[in-house]
Amino acid sequence: MDYTIETLIPREAVEKRIKELASEIEKDYKGREVIVLGLLKGSVIFMSDLIKEIDIPLVIDFMSVSSYGNGTDSTGVVKILKDTDFELKGKEILIIEDIIDTGLTLKYVREFIESKGTKSVAICTLLDKPSRRKVDIKGDYVGFEIPDEFVVGYGLDYAQKYRNLPYIGVVEFHEDEE
């Protein structure tokens, strides 16, 4: 199937919103020791922009989980491909995600992390598609609520491509002509 990518959220708007989220996080976490935990690979671009704007001595770590194949639909199966490097017991964790869609991935990850005896767990997501939710989970810091469209850019991929787009685009599928 043929497709094009249309801009949904321009670069300037994303950058501005990330600064707002960063200042909220900075205010909330001042004086606390936080581990900022990115979910690979989707969170990487967002997380690197975000943490540069947070003026507190934070620690970063990453986890890798799989929830999707190469298509656009959730399998509902979450597998831990890479656990954290650091011990999370007693720590304050801020999970960074690119998007909350059905919520299946984050619900699993959140419970997995909480089961390590953390002091607190919060979620920061660049995008949220609330209309797609299948389980009860919410972001504590949400960049943008978006409609039920398949988006790419700023870390989000379509079949592993377009993560490096500096804006959020919608993938529009067209019936092949001729």
Catalytic residue numbers?
101
Of the pair 68, 144, the CB lying nearest ligand IMP is at 68
Of the pair 42, 169, the CB lying nearest Mg ion is at 42
The one-letter code for the residue type at 11 is: R
Neighbours of 115 (CB within 10 A): 9
Min CB(107)–ligand IMP separation in Å = 8
CA angle, residues 23, 24, 28, in degrees to nearest 5: 115
Min CB(56)–ligand IMP separation in Å = 25
Of the pair 54, 63, the CB lying nearest Mg ion is at 63
Strand order in the sheet with 74-82: 74-82, 59-68, 34-40, 92-100, 120-128, 141-145
Measured CA to CA, the distance from residue 38 to residue 89 in angstroms comes to 17
- 98 in contact with ligand IMP (CB under 6 A): yes
- 97 in contact with ligand IMP (CB under 6 A): yes
Min CB(65)–ligand IMP separation in Å = 8
From candidates 26, 102, 142, 163, binder to ligand IMP by CB under 6 A: 102
- 42 in contact with Mg ion (CB under 5 A): yes
Of the pair 88, 170, the CB lying nearest ligand IMP is at 170
Question: Which residues here bind ligand IMP, judged by CB under 6 A?
Answer: 42, 67-68, 74, 97-106, 150-152, 156-157
